[in-house]
Chains A and B, each alone.
Chain A
Amino acid sequence: MGFFFTTVETKEPPNRSKREKCWESRDIYFKCLDRIEVIDPLNQQKKSLIKKECGNEDKQFEKDCVASWVKYFKQKRPFDKKKERMLNDAKNEGAEVVQLPGYRK
Chain B
Amino acid sequence: MARGEEDYTKMTIKRSPVEFLTWKSLVLFVTVGVGMTWLFKEQKKKIELRKEAEMNRGVGKPLIGGPFDLVDMNGNRYTSDNLKGKFSLIYFGFTHCPDICPDELDDMGEIIDGLKKKHHIEFQSLFITCDPVRDSPEVMKDYLADFHPEILGLTGTYDNIKKCCKAYRVYFSTPRDVKPGQDYLVDHSIFYYLMDPEGQFIDVLGRNYDVNGAIEKIKDDVRAYEPSEVRSKKKDGWFGFLYK
Of B95, B136, B216, B217, which is within 8 A of A8 by CB? B136
Chain A residue with Cβ nearest B213: A102
Which bucket holds chain B's interface residue count?
20 to 34
Contacts A68-B184, A69-B98: A15 and B142 contacting too (C-beta < 8 A)? yes
- Once the chains are docked, how many angstroms separate the CA of A70 from the CA of B182? 15
Tell me whether A102 and B209 are in contact (CB under 8 A). yes
- Once the chains are docked, how many angstroms separate the CA of A13 from the CA of B135? 9
- Once the chains are docked, how many angstroms separate the CA of A29 from the CA of B212? 33
- Once the chains are docked, how many angstroms separate the CA of A15 from the CA of B137? 16
Question: Total contacts A to B, CB within 8 angstroms?
Answer: 75
Min CB distance B177 to A, Å, is: 10
Contacts A9-B181, A68-B96: A103 and B136 contacting too (C-beta < 8 A)? no
Chain A residues 6 to 30 lying within 8 A of chain B, measured CB to CB, are 6-16, 19, 22-23
Of B102, B133, B142, which is within 8 A of A19 by CB? B102
User: Per-position contact with A for B121-145: 1 when CB-CB < 8 Å, else 0?
Assistant: 0000000000001111101001100
Q: Is B7 close to A, CB under 8 A?
A: no
Q: Is B208 close to A, CB under 8 A?
A: yes
- Sample of 5 A–B contacts (CB below 8 Å): A7-B136, A16-B102, A66-B96, A68-B98, A105-B210
- Please give the residue numbers on chain B whose beta carbons come within 8 Å of chain A beta carbons, in ascending order: 95-96, 98-99, 102, 133-137, 139, 142-143, 146, 157-158, 180-185, 207-210, 212-213, 216-217
- Please give the residue numbers on chain A whose beta carbons come within 8 Å of chain B beta carbons, in ascending order: 3-4, 6-16, 19, 22-23, 65-69, 71-73, 101-105
